Structure 1
């Protein structure tokens, strides 16, 4: 479907879907200049996901671009982008990243989650696999009926790393559960009232239970909201090409990697923007 190209403060972009995702069309040199940073930030908050098709940033350029948008948050011991792959030969985090195949928000174990992630494609998986899915948790909340919002407002949930284990390993050894549980738990609002005045859902595979609800009711709320938020009208699945960069607002979206063969060589490089707003 053809879409109109819009421009704001020199930023050229077009919507991909009505409720989520826009494609940014400026060339590399304009993006790296830093002049477009404020407009990109504004568009990101509005659209949730921004796609820079085949922009071809190398690692240094990706870091430089990230720094035009906010404070770059390095991961681990290195200063460069983080390798994202399920191939254990390439990443020491491959086992942990199995949880990324299920809908989640990054940083639910922190009081202040990261603002955004930027993912660039170095090696895609075979076509039809390995997409990255996104859903707009602002739009999903806005579309709920008023009576349902009244029922959910004020509820709080316990988040932890260990519940993600059961998504990909239904009968894990007790030692593995104990190890993941050692990370701890975090109590968060089910509905995030942002400093901007907007509200979004805080859900995903780290959500262990709703405080004050019986287990069955708690599960129905958590998984019912996931089903709602990931409906077609709130979601976008990005099929990767070499050189693509996609960034998403971690404070107003959920995301997941879609299944692919861990041995296929799929490789992404990730940078992050440091968080600026607590969940509360």
Structure 2
């Protein structure tokens, strides 16, 4: 007979162990997922992981489920949540989610965010039962063609913090956690500016490169600066793409700039605590 499932703070494991547990727990999920220790540390540190609030559930001493909680102020996010196949379909998902919500309320959080892949009907149904509400659809893009790159000097490399500060002071926008400036400037990569008004954050390793986010000064919007910036990036970095973390409202811009939308999409969801 198995012992009961025990809840533990993720702080009891290091990043390499947590990466192995997360990959193990995602076995058989809709979209295959694996992560190594270095990538785990880099990615979730940038997303502001709270090791004390993240949870590993064990049974007979073996990790069986993992929840990664990231936090900023009074807002938290379920950055990853996975259960081993032997625990699925037995009500553990609802039990663990209720624990995470109760703990968020107890520490004074006001909101909890998460993303769920469209097509993960079981996950979506669980989150909606727990009170999460869809806010927007997040998509990704792939460059479909490029021309021979010619250095024109129009793109200037800058400190990523300069772009992040510009975005932070723009009170008129709310971006998903993964593309928020608080995440972007901590990730490895480069930032570029065009005409002192249009900015892009690009991850250049590992290959192929990825556009993490764009930003255009409010006074320069609607003048084609973002489209020109994307076109220059597509020429400079053949095969460039984005993660599935871009608000769907950006689709016309990317598609008109030589990008094709990826079929994988996500819902961004919110629970007001």
Per the TM superposition, whether the score is higher than 0.5 is no
Which structure is higher in helix share? 2
Q: Which has the higher contact order (CA 8 A, sep 6+)?
A: 1
Structure 1-normalised TM-score?
0.31
Structure 2-normalised TM-score?
0.32
